[in-house]
Amino acid sequence: MATFSDQECEWCRRDFPSLGHELEGVPIAYFDGPAGTQVPQPVIDAVAGYYRTCNANTHGQFSTSRETDQLLHETRETVAAFLGAPSWREISFGANMTTLCFALARALVRSWQPGDEVVITMLDHEANRGPWLTLRERGIVVREVALLPNGTLDPEDMAKVITPRTKLLAIGAASNALGTVNDLALARRLTRKVGAWLLVDAVHAAPHFPMDVVALDADFLLCSAYKFYGPHVGVLYCRPGLLDTLTTDKLCTQDDAAPFRIETGTQNHAALAGVKAAVELIAGCGEGPTLRDQIVSAMEALMVRERELARRYFEGVRAIRGVRVWGPGFDGGHRAPTVSITVDGIPSPEVARRLGEVGIQVWDGHFYAQRAIEVLGLADRGGVSTTEGDGHVLVGTVPTAPPLQGCAPAAAAGSRPPGLRWIMAGR
């Protein structure tokens, strides 16, 4: 499978103006990708361009309103191509994934009875747990799939908790905290066996792997554009015809057909212009006769490149005495390029603070995967330090680290104290 060359990555990096940002004369190293990417200039231009040229609400009898209608339609078509959806009619938008998940939970529970069951996992982001846990107020039983010490879900426990009373399994495609990629094929087989719906949280998978909702056979899939170079917009895919069967919260003035019937109020039109531009930017890095072909080509190449960078960091950081890496390794199958660590004797917030002082930006804490951090016994230690990117800068393998070479947003590293080795030496 093809990947991006160093020269191609350097060319891609020029689209990101934030990569020129410095801290006290040193370029910032952006390892904070798990919580959202930097935004490229074409996306910024698309957002600003909407406000400059056609800022109007929808369904009006004048030109700028018609342009807005056309923009939203084209954005749905573009996102459908990104996810491999059959058509634009399966793509709904919202303020963020969490908002859409709450709306979906409220719609689904109207057709369920007390004693019906929903299955969630101990690994998931709270955005794919909290909305379902609130259904306990309506008499819905919520069960959890157990998390193993190696950061993967227990397949035997999944088979045990999914029963004929299960109405829905809500599961993440990839963990934003540990990088684990879940067995969605198993999840689909088990839910099909009992007639339950499958909801996939792809917020952390969509930026790293080609998405194909048809191949996944998902009933629902959610993701967020800010994870793949776009603005903060939530995306919901529903299996063709499924959304039309749900009683959603909506005004009487809202279109009753899918995909509109779960969308509330006026959408963020300028942000949706940015979403379209973000997907088109990704497609521009790929090859093929169709937009979908170009997206898949680019995402496959990006996946290979990110895996190379993440493996480099994973192997480098676990060789440092006193550092423990959490989650599965890179010797097996699929794994997201997200690596989480703890440092003996130094709470994770302190690790992140010290790295931040030298322009290396990493996340710390539970990273909204609070249940997973609790199960792994890491809550009292401040959680984990979570990163994505090239390992040379963060590990500190050389006194002056080379430029980060990923196509994901990251900044070149100039002269700086050598990362985690510097922290360990100074503790």
Do the Cβ atoms of 121 and 127 come closer than 8 Å? Answer: no
Residues 13 and 96 in one domain: no
Residues 51 and 31 in one domain: no
Residue 401: pLDDT band with limits 50, 70, 90: very low
Nearest alpha carbon to residue 184 among 201, 164, 203: 201
Position 411 pLDDT exceeds 80: no
Question: Picking from 30-34, 53-57, 279-283, 338-342, which range would have the lowest pLDDT averaged per residue?
Answer: 30-34
Q: What percent of the chain has pLDDT over 70?
A: 91
Residues 121 and 54 in one domain: yes
**Tokens read off for 244:** 């039309």
Dist. CA 200–CA 330, nearest whole Å? 23
Do the Cβ atoms of 304 and 383 come closer than 8 Å? Answer: no
Domain extent at residue 222? 44-283
In tens, the pLDDT along 179-214 reads 999 999 999 999 999 999 999 999 999 999 999 999
In tens, the pLDDT along 288-304 reads 999 999 999 999 999 99
Please report whether residue 187 resides in a domain.
yes
Residues 183 and 154 in one domain: yes
Please report whether residue 159 resides in a domain.
yes
The whole-number pLDDT of residue 372 equals 95
In tens, the pLDDT along 264-280 reads 999 999 999 999 999 99
In tens, the pLDDT along 16-55 reads 999 999 999 989 999 888 788 999 999 999 999 999 999 9
Burial of 366 (0-12, 13-18, 19+ CB in 10 A): buried
Residues 147 and 209 in one domain: yes
Overall average pLDDT of the 366-376 stretch: 92
Dist. CA 240–CA 259, nearest whole Å? 10
Residues 359 and 309 in one domain: yes
Position 3 pLDDT exceeds 90: no
Strand order in the sheet with 323-326: 323-326, 339-343, 384-387, 363-365
How many domains does the chain fold into? 2
CATH of the domain at 123: 3.40.640.10
The whole-number pLDDT of residue 397 equals 32
Q: What percent of the chain has pLDDT over 90?
A: 79
Dist. CA 117–CA 163, nearest whole Å? 8
The whole-number pLDDT of residue 114 equals 98
Q: How many CB atoms lie within 10 A of CB 12?
A: 19
The whole-number pLDDT of residue 422 equals 52
Burial of 262 (0-12, 13-18, 19+ CB in 10 A): buried
Please report whether residue 1 resides in a domain.
no
Last residue of one domain, picked from the residues 225, 250, 283: 283
Position 390 pLDDT exceeds 90: no
Do the Cβ atoms of 153 and 183 come closer than 8 Å? Answer: yes
Last residue of one domain, picked from the residues 234, 249, 283: 283
Residues 275 and 208 in one domain: yes
Residues 113 and 250 in one domain: yes
Please report whether residue 265 resides in a domain.
yes
Residues 342 and 315 in one domain: yes
